[in-house]
Amino acid sequence: MKILVVSDSFKGTMSSKQIGMTICDYYRKQNIESDYIPISDGGEGFLDAINHYLQKEMQSIMVENANFELTSASYIIDQKNQTAYLELAESIGLAKVDKNSLDAINASSYGFGHLIKDIIKKYSIKKMIIGIGGSATSDLGCGMLEALGVEFIDQDGFLIKKMNNAKLMRVRKIKTKAFEKLIKGIEFITLTDVVNLLLGKKGAIMTFASQKGAKQNQLFMMEENIKHIFKLLKYQKKQQIADFAGAGAAGGIGFTMKYFFHSKIASGIDQILEMIDFKTLVKTYDVIITGEGKFDKQSLDGKVFSGIKKYQPQRLIVICGQNQLKKKDEEIYAIVPTVASLEESFKDPVLALQKLLPFIKIK
């Protein structure tokens, strides 16, 4: 019997690595051969997943989180291949902001732009691979663009600073000359964990803004603010601007990466599984254990579970904090309410996971 753990992080509680170590420790004590690989769909843990493969020393700098508070953001430089690996969640991620201070309409992606600019200035790179899951922002990436030299001008000709969703409607002109000079010659690849459009019922605002602290009565205005920039770009760029699957990732940063950075947009989990040669690995294990904090409809489309299932493991087990799907054709084990309340699971997540494992019948 051989077990491989490839679980996503449980957002805000346990990293992919912690989950893997906890599960492997449990089964190794039962003399069951167990291994783990840190994995990510582009959100939290993206750098851990990449570094498990690359084995490079992580660098870090101080940048702004979504509320303009200083935070340490890590990244990886592969100097041999002139490639930088960035995890958006390291700077403007939900986990970088106190839950009580989440404020989607005023949150800014500026700190992520600061991180990108610092790397471009410091290193001679030709490629940036960016995981954009887990953001606390809904500003269409305009804060990020501002940090990289894009100028947002209002109707009186004044520069708008500290861009966020609330300020998008004031924009009348966008100047990109300095920005285009800065990123010239760099290839960008953006890895996303969702396939949502930018606009509409399944778009960046209507699907995700509430998770980032937006109030119900703010959603309509936030959507209108993003629509304003969308229409402005169509007019100003004089080119075909269209919504697309993945554009709604990270509060619209998926859209911005394509139309400003000319970035390729790809599935984060698909790219990482390909990198670690999961096609070969999956054949050598009897059981694959995966999971995430909340197992819901999004888990079936672009997340770690959906990516792994494509490889048809011999047996696939899902562990999660909460299960919001009734899928009788899957083996799903949830911490809440099986062994702990929601409060208990957040207070000591490792203990809660340890309590869940005896419920899983491996043999």
12-32 per-position pLDDT tens digit: 789 999 999 999 999 999 999
The pTM (predicted TM-score) of the whole model is 0.90
Tell me the residue length of the chain. Answer: 363
Yes or no: domain 2-37+284-359 corresponds to CATH 3.30.160: no
The least confident of 57-66, 68-77, 291-300 is: 291-300
> pLDDT digit string (tens) for 228-275?
999 999 888 767 899 999 999 999 999 999 999 999 999 999 999 998
Q: Where are the domains of the chain?
A: 2-37+284-359, 69-269
Residue 213: pLDDT band by 50, 70, 90 thresholds?
A: very high
Strand pairing class (264-267; 287-295): unpaired
Specify the pLDDT at position 328. 77
Confidence band, pLDDT 50/70/90 cuts, at residue 309: very high
The larger pLDDT score, comparing residue 54 to residue 70, is at: 70
Say whether pLDDT at 93 is over 70.
Answer: yes
Residue 265, beta-bridge partner list:
190
Nearest Cα residue to 103 out of 195, 222, 225, 194:
222
CA distance 139 to 99: 19
**Quick one: pLDDT at residue 193?**
86
- 103: amino acid identity, one letter: D
Cβ(154)–Cβ(171) under 8 Å?
A: yes
- Taking Cα atoms as reference points, which of 139, 191, 131 lies closest to residue 162? 139
Instruction: Work out the percent of the chain whose per-residue pLDDT is above 70.
Output: 100
Question: pLDDT value at position 236?
Answer: 82
* 336-348 mean pLDDT: 94
Q: How many CB atoms lie within 10 A of CB 279?
A: 11
Asked if domains 2-37+284-359 and 69-269 share a fold, the reply is: no
Mean pLDDT throughout 140-168? 98
The average pLDDT across 321-331 equals 87
CB 218, CB 105: distance < 8 Å: yes
Peptide bond into 313 cis (omega under 30): no
Is the predicted pLDDT of residue 302 greater than 80, yes or no? Answer: no
Contact between 192 and 267 under an 8 Å Cβ cutoff? The reply is yes
Lowest mean pLDDT among 88-97, 213-222, 298-307: 298-307
- 69-269 belongs to which CATH class? alpha beta
Label residue 155 by pLDDT band (50, 70, 90): very high
